[in-house]
Structure 1
C-alpha cells in the first residue's frame, strides 16, 4: 500500500512527464533549490518555473518508476523517462521536504544520464 508521500511523488513525477508545470509549482516551496548534478543549480520558484517551461515537452514522455523510497522528510525516486522522439534518460531524484504533513519539496538533487 502506497503512503500519501509515495502517491504524491508518483504524481509529481507524472507531472514532469506530462509537463504539468502548474502542478509541479504547487508542490515546491518558494525557496526551492534544484541541483541537476553536473549541469546547473536552480534557486527559487521563479527560476524553477523558467527552467520547467524550457524543459517542457509538447507531447507526454513515457515514465517508468523503478524505486520510490520515502523516510521522514526525505525521499528518492529512480526510473526512466523516454521522450516522444525515443531518447531514454535514466534518473534518480533525491527530495527533501519542508515538513511532514502537507509538506512541499524544498530541495531536489537530480542525477540524469542519457541511455544509448
Structure 2
C-alpha cells in the first residue's frame, strides 16, 4: 500500500467520522464548492451550501456509532461501506467518491447507497 492510498483512506475515515458526528466545518473543508452529493432514491444536492445546509438539519443530538467495513481507493475514486447505528436503528451504507485531484484531494462527487434495517 503506498502513502497516497494510506492518506486517502485516513481522509475518508475522518470524513465519515465527521459526517456522523455532525462536524460541519470538517465536511465543508473536505468538499469542492461545486460538489454533487446524491443519496440514491432520495435527493441530489448540488453545491457546498446545499450539503452544509443538509448536514445542519440532521439530528446531531442523537448518539451515532459508525463502523467502517472497507475503504477502497483507486486513483481519483474511492468507496467506503459500513454501518451507522442510531439508537436501535442500523443504517447500512456504501458511498462512492470522486476526487477533484490526486494530491490534497477534495470530494467533488458523492453517491450514497443506503439501506435501513
1:106 corresponds to which of 78, 101, 108: 108
Aligned to 1:24: 27
Which residues in structure 2 correspond to 1:5-44 (within 5 Å)?
5-44=8-47
Shift of 1:5: 0.3
Shift of 1:54: 1.2
Tell me if structure 2 keeps the 8 A contact 1:96–1:105: yes
TM-score normalised by L of structure 2: 0.93
Deviation >2 Å, runs of 4+? none
SS in 2 for 1:99: coil
Count residues in correspondence: 114
Instruction: Choose between structure 1 and 2: higher helix proportion.
Output: 2
Shift of 1:47: 0.8
- Structure 2: give runs of 5+ residues left out of the alignment: none
CA deviations 1:34-53 (Å, max 9, x no partner) are: 01000000000111111111
Shift of 1:60: 3.8
- Structure 1: give runs of 5+ residues left out of the alignment: none
Quickly say closer, same or farther: Cα 1:56–1:30, change in 2 above 3 A: farther
SS in 1 for 2:91: strand
Q: CA RMSD for the aligned pairs?
A: 1.2
Shift of 1:55: 1.8
Shift of 1:18: 0.9
Q: Distance in 2 between matches of 1:32 and 1:70?
A: 19
